Structure 1
Amino acid sequence: MKNQKGFTLIEMLIVLLVISVLLLITIPNVTKHNSSIQEKGCDGLINMVQAQATAYEIDNTNTPSVAELVAEGYLRDTPVCPNGNSVVISATGEVTEGGTAPEAP
């Protein structure tokens, strides 16, 4: 039995301890940054919709609604931010984050 190769119980426990410590360090950091990640995702979506609204204005010389952008093929579907808020276009053509998005049918 002395010539058998393998890990001892102590070695396995040390490896599990190291893995546990690494998990305890990383998981709180990931969850802490979740809201800023969603905010940046929404900012990127708003910028993309603003660019498409500007392209629509150049092509059609009027300010579009979100439904018109979808109908004309400028957007694939109605944009919704990662935090669940809808994207709205004002009468002046400015794209902003609106309220809670309506439920999909």
Structure 2
Amino acid sequence: MAVFKLNTTDGGQFNFSLKNDADKTLIKSEQYNTKAAAENGIESVQNNADNASRYDAKASDSGKFYFNLKAGNGQIIGTSPMYADAAARDAAIAETQKVAKTASTES
């Protein structure tokens, strides 16, 4: 089952990643100053992940592919790792849409 992993950095900030069943990262968040803010970020991912219009599929200057998941206000709430091709990126978007809403959270 997919899971949000909530992490604390050495500097006392918080971030999260959404991992699939195989423990591969689908998206990572920005750094948050508080745990509550990071938890709100997770909730925002869960609320927006099944909306295809919230995904911004991109290609990097180095020829790798990735996506950003955005909230309704346009703010990026998660960024994927880099993928070798657009098909892999698009498969990761589909998986994120499928698993994010029901993923549990681990600290």
Whether TM-score is above 0.5 comes out as: no
TM-score normalised by length of structure 2: 0.25
Q: Which has the higher strand share?
A: 2
Q: TM-score, normalization: structure 1? A: 0.25
Structure whose residues are more often helix by fraction? 1
* Larger Cα-atom Rg: 1
